[in-house]
Amino acid sequence: MTYADGRRIHDFDSHIMEPLDWLESYADPDVRALLRPVNDGNAERVAFIDGAVEAQAARVGDAAANEALESELMHMKNKGYLALGAFDPDERIRAMDLLGFEQQLLFPTVSFPQFAYEKDPVVRIGGARAMNRGLADYGRVDARLWPVGYVPLGVGVEAAAPVLEEALKDGCRVIAIDMVPDPDGLSFTHADYDPIWARLQEAGTPIAIHVGVHGPWGKGLPAGFHNNGRPHLPQLDDAPREALPFMSISHPAELFLAALVFDGVLERFPGLRVAVAELGATWVPAFLRMLDHSQRAFRRIQPQLSELSLKPSEYIRRQVKFSPFAGEPVGWMIEEAGDELFAFASDYPHHEGTDDPIRRFDQTLEGTPAESIERFYRTNFEELFGL
C-alpha cells in the first residue's frame, strides 16, 4: 500500500536536498569559484550534510536499514537530508513507489541561494544553468519526476532567453522565475519581455513562483521590524523563520500576479500558465476580490485597465493554480474562491510538508463535494499541464 493509498494524486511541490559541491559539479569552470558555499559554509551544517551522505552510502545493500527507513517514510525524523531519495536519484524511485504520486514537481533547496541573490549577472546566469542541468539530470531517472528549471529574468531578455532555451532542451517541465524585478530594470510585464512569455506559451511550459524565488531585491520583511527589543532568529534569504516574516510570505506573489493581470500579460498570452508553490493560499480569496476592486477604483485614471477583456480575477481563475500549506483550510478556500484554483503539494522531503499532508488536507475538506476534492488532488494539476 502506498502513502496515496490508491488515490490518484499529483504533487505540486517537492524538493531535492543537494549534497555539498552538487551545484559546482554541474557548473562551468569559470563559474564554480564564484558560487557561494552551501549554507555559507556553516561548519555545523556542512558536518550534518556530510553525515547524511555517509549514512545513505552505508545503507546501500542493507535490507534491514532500508526497510526501517521505508516503514517510516513520512516520519519527521526522516525528513530533509535524512529522507529516502533526498539526494540519491535511485532512492527517489523507491520513494516515489512508496508515495504513490503520479507526478511530482522537483524544486531545488540549498543550491538556489548559492547564486540567485547575487547581483552579478555572470553568477546568476551560470548558477541557473548549472542548477537546471542538475535537476534535469536527477529527474531523468523517473518519468514521474518533473524538474523545475529557473531563469533569472532580471538579467534582461537577451541574456535570459538562452537560459530558457537550454532549460527547455534539458527537459525542465516548469520554469521558475523571480517575482521582484531589479529596481533599475524593466518590470517583467514590460512588452520587451513578451518574447519570453510567447516562448513559454508555445512550449506549453508553465512558469512557477515559489517561496525564496524573488531575486536579489525581493527579500521579504524590512529589517526594521526586528528592532523591537525582543530576541529573533536571523533572517534567511529564501524563507521566513518566524511568525512576523511569515505574514509577508505572499506579498511578492500578490504584486507579481497583479502585475501580470493589470499589465496585460495574461490577456496577451492566454495559454501561459502559472504555478504558485509554497507561498500559502489562505490569502487567495481576498486577493481575487482585491484585484477586481482595484480595477474598478483606478480604471478611470488608468485606461489600460479598461482594455482587459475579462475581470482581473477571471485571468487568475483561468491561468493560475496555488498549492496551500498542509493544514490550511482548503475546504473554506474552495467555498470562498472556487475549486479550480488549488492543488495538493507534499513538499517532500521538507519538514514543512509535515508527516502527513494528505490527512491534514482531508481534515479541512470534510463536507466538500467529491468533485472538488478530486480537483484538488488531481484535476487542477492536470489542467495546468494540459494532461
Average pLDDT over residues 350-371: 97
CA distance 5 to 337: 28
Cis amide prior to 349 (ω within 30 degrees): yes
Three-class DSSP category at 147 = strand
Contacts of 150 (CB under 8 A, 6+ apart): 108, 112, 116, 128, 131, 132, 167, 175, 176, 177, 213
Q: What is the pLDDT of residue 237?
A: 67
pLDDT of 221 higher than 80? no
Q: What are the pLDDT digits (tens) for 371-386? A: 999 999 999 999 999 9
pLDDT score, position 62: 92
The residue ranking higher by pLDDT, 314 or 223, is: 314
What DSSP letter does each residue of 302-357 carry, written as one string?
-GGGGG-SS-HHHHHHHHEEE-PPTTS-HHHHHHHH-TTSB-----BTSGGG-S-H
| Mean pLDDT in residue range 336-353 | 97
Question: What's residue 218's pLDDT?
Answer: 72
pLDDT in tens, 86-113: 999 999 999 999 999 999 999 999 999 9
Give me the mean pLDDT over the 236-254 stretch: 85
Supply the pTM of this predicted model.
0.95
CA dist 372 to 4, 35, 76, 194, 276, Å?
18, 45, 29, 34, 19
Which pLDDT belongs to residue 246?
86
Question: What are the domain boundaries of the chain?
Answer: 11-385
Classify domain 11-385 at the CATH class level: alpha beta
Report how far residue 13's alpha carbon sits from residue 254's, in angstroms, rounded to the nearest whole number: 19
